[in-house]
Structure 1
């Protein structure tokens, strides 16, 4: 949710710059669909879901390349941030501190 808030917040901030805004919206969508993709019956684990959700970013990169002959840097940086966040989230999710925090939220 942190990445979604960051990308969506940046998109709101840059809403008067459509070249940046639309790419940030696509990045925020890629972040949000990862949990939904991981719940599909044919997706074996969350890592595969993360990779599949980056296809949204890949589609944007391909569109940029075919239509403008260059890739907007937001796709590069945003895609890298999304990919790097996966291992960090998986590692943090296994810690005792995270489990304690989750228990606190549930109780």
Structure 2
């Protein structure tokens, strides 16, 4: 019983910390300027992606709080609805990213999209993959794996927010992007430490998530795999050119 109570507090607090980091990062570069009416004009896809991202990181700690308060039926009902939200996040994210990479390849700038667009894509794919695995675990009744996979997915998903927070605190540097994306692993490590302290073992969901995150994202660093990055950029640019009618990025929003 004592462990169950500590789990409720821990997972809710960790979900709040992850979401708080996401909101902090995007406050300075997106939400704040929109509220202050200083954000430059941008296409609908960017705002739908931002809105769906915002909704997920409100939804995520709310779901943890529902479990902590034993409101499982409502948690399960909302969980089913979250599938549509994740599809929207992923679809608009790929749309915006691919069009930006296509634009960068044609114009030669901003170079940051060509350097780290593939890594950002891998971040999105990992988020969706671990979310899908978490849904599978919920359906099959493996709830300990489910909640940890949701933690992994949501931690990975805040990469864009984390590196924007670094931008604000220390100024822009291209390496801020990989540092921010990989720093999301800190939340997975916190989960692993909690497991070890309370169970004397670490759930494999965390280990798989951490290893997959580093293997995939480090392999798409231009400093590590220049040829692979170029290949993914070509694929993204071709996709962006095909679907660019859905999103007009002009005038270009600063990265």
Which segments of 5 or more consecutive residues in structure 1 lack a partner in the other structure? none
Q: Does residue 42 in structure 1 map to residue 169 in structure 2? A: yes
Distance in structure 2 (CA, Å) of the matches to 1:86 and 1:38: 14
Equivalences for residues 17-56 of structure 1 within 5 A: 17-40=142-165, 41-42=168-169, 44=173, 45-56=176-187
Q: In structure 1, how many angstroms separate the alpha carbons of the residues matched to 2:244 and 2:169? A: 29
- SS in structure 2 at match of 1:90: coil
Tell me if structure 2 keeps the 8 A contact 1:93–1:99: no
TM-score by length of 1: 0.85
Q: Which has the larger radius of gyration?
A: 2
Q: Which has the higher contact order (CA 8 A, sep 6+)?
A: 2
Mapped partners of 1:83, 1:35: distance in 2? 16
How many aligned positions are there?
107
Q: TM-score, normalised by structure 2?
A: 0.38
Corresponding position of 2:133: 10
- Secondary structure at the counterpart of residue 184 of structure 2: helix
List, as ranges, runs of 4+ consecutive aligned residues in structure 1 with deviation greater than 2 Å: 87-96, 98-103
